Amino acid sequence: MTMLSWFSADLHIHTVLSPCAELDMGPVNIVKAARELKIDIIGITDHNAAGNVVAVRDRAGKEGPVVIPGMEVQTREEVHLLSFFPEVKQLQAFAAYIRERLPPVRNRPEIFGDQVVVNGGERILYFEEILLVNSVTASLGEVVKEVLARDGLVIPAHVDRGAYSILANLGFIPPALPVAALEIARPEKLPDLLLCYPAVGQYPFVSFSDAHTLSQLKGRFRTYFYLKQPNFTEIKKALQGEGGRKVVIRQGPGSD
């Protein structure tokens, strides 16, 4: 029987594919920083696209960190939703679904920044031309259904922010929405959030860096999972509190 142990995780990281991320957020630097910071599991979650997940996973290789395939979707309600999948192939199928629902607006790099798809060695493969920081035409409910149909899980992002947040935009978490956890940007303010939105207390909380720059990877807070193995399935079980698995938020190396 495998014992449970603690794994540090940062499941909300942007790469150079996100126009708002800095150009040094490539696979080589991200993997190097994650190793230095002793982050065991990372999630690559670019806006409405997944083109750099394989590159980061290739770069991480056997040495790690473990890379969970993911995406940060912006639904038509302008809600940011982290979605994660057991395998890259499910993410890629989901990415195709999302791409068909992106408005046909071209990126203007001089305003938004470049959207770069690279390989594991940071060779540029191509520039994504459709603007990724936009709302897709699918609703929150539809997007969640598509993620779950591909064995994924969803975590509404930075619910405590004033913008792109499920709580700000929709007032409360729709009761029947199957969300695995809520991401909170400022865990130190959780008591205030619970005062305003008592119902969110029923969900597990996680806190990730939402890093767009290398220095942000330090993270003011870090989330730790108590798991048998560092993988998607175990994380899902931990969020459900299954078999002694659990999740906690602690101060990160980037805290003041």
- Binding footprint of another protein on the chain (CB under 8 A): 76-78, 139-141, 167-172, 174
Shortest distance (Å) from residue 31 CB to another protein: 38
Residue with smaller CB distance to another protein, 38 or 145: 145
Compute the half-sphere exposure of residue 137: CA atoms within 13 Å on the CB side of its CA. 8
Closest distance of CB 222 from another protein, Å: 28
To another protein, the closest distance from the beta carbon of 81 in angstroms equals 13
Residue 98, SS3?
helix
CB of 171 to another protein, least distance (A): 3
- On whether the CB atoms of residues 158 and 185 are closer than 8 A, the answer is yes
The secondary structure of 104-139, three-state, reads CCECCHHHHCCCEEECCCCCEEEECCECCCCCCCCC
Q: Which is closer to another protein, CB of 135 or CB of 216?
A: 135
Nearer to another protein, 170 or 214 (CB): 170
CB of 197 to another protein, least distance (A): 9
Q: Which residues of 186-198 are buried (b: 16+ CB within 10 A; e: fewer)?
A: ebeebeebeeebe
The residue (of 104 and 171) whose beta carbon lies closer to another protein is 171
Q: How far apart are the first and last CA of the chain?
A: 40
124 vs 194, beta carbon nearer another protein: 194
Q: Are 192 and 177 in contact (CB under 8 A)?
A: no
Tell me how crowded residue 14 is: count the other CB atoms within 10 A of its CB. 24
